[in-house]
Amino acid sequence: MVHDMLRLCNQWPLTRPFSIVLSFSGIRKMEEGKDSEALLAFYEAVSQPAPRSLLAQLHTLTGICLAKLGRPQSAMQCYRKALQVDFSCRSALYQSALLYRQLGNAQAETEALRLLHKAASLPSCGESSSPQTPLLSSDSLLCCQALSRFLANPSPPGIQHALAQRCLHSER
C-alpha cells in the first residue's frame, strides 16, 4: 500500500494523493466500525480533485456510511451523485437496490436491480479491444480487502437471482 501511495505521489499533482490518503483513512474507519469518522474522511476526500471513477466510489462509500448511520435519504443522494459523476458505477446501483430493499420499496428495488443487470451485462467503459490497461484505476487506488467487501457487486446471475426473488416476493 505504501509503495502504491509513493507511486501515485510521483504521478499526480500534490492535491490528488491527499484524496487517496483520506479515502484509505475512511475505509480504515469503516473497518473499525467508526462510521461517523469515516463519513468525515469521505466528505473531505470528495472535495479534493480526483478521477471521476474514484469520486464515484467515494460518493458510494459516503452513502454506505450514511445508510449505516440511519440516514437513508442522504445515502440515496450520495448514490445518485456517484452515478452522476460516473454512470458506470455499478456499486452505487447495487447499494441503492440494497437500501430500497431495507426501506421496503419493492418497486424501486426491482428497477435498480434491472438497471444493475443491464449494466453488468454490458462491457464496462474501461474495457477495450486493446490489451493495454490504464496506469491508474479506481480499483488500484482503493485496492484492499475492506473496499472489496464494502463495494462488492454480485455477478449477472446473482443479480438475476435477486431480481427473481424480489419479483416472487412482490407477486409480479
- CATH code, domain carrying 37: 1.25.40.10
Total number of residues shown for the chain: 172
Q: Encode pLDDT of 7-25 as tens digits.
A: 444 444 444 555 666 777 8
> Which percentage of the chain shows pLDDT scores above 90?
35
The string over 124-136, giving b where at least 16 C-beta atoms fall within 10 Å of a residue's C-beta and e elsewhere, is eeeeeeeeeeeeb
Asked, for residue 9, whether it belongs to a domain, the answer is yes
| Residue 93 belongs to domain spanning | 2-119+137-169
Integer angstrom CA distances of residue 94 from 18, 58, 79, 112, 152: 28, 15, 9, 7, 9
Q: Per-residue pLDDT for 130 more than 50? A: no
Tell whether the torsion through CA atoms of 38, 43, 47 and 50 is positive or negative: positive
Asked, for residue 132, whether it belongs to a domain, the answer is no
pTM above 0.85, yes or no: no
Domain count of the fold of the chain: 1
Q: Encode pLDDT of 56-108 as tens digits.
A: 999 999 999 999 999 999 999 999 999 999 988 899 999 999 999 999 999 99
C-alpha cell at 96: 441503492
Q: Which residues contact 94 (CB under 8 A, 6 or more apart)?
A: 112, 116, 153, 154
- Average pLDDT of the chain is 76
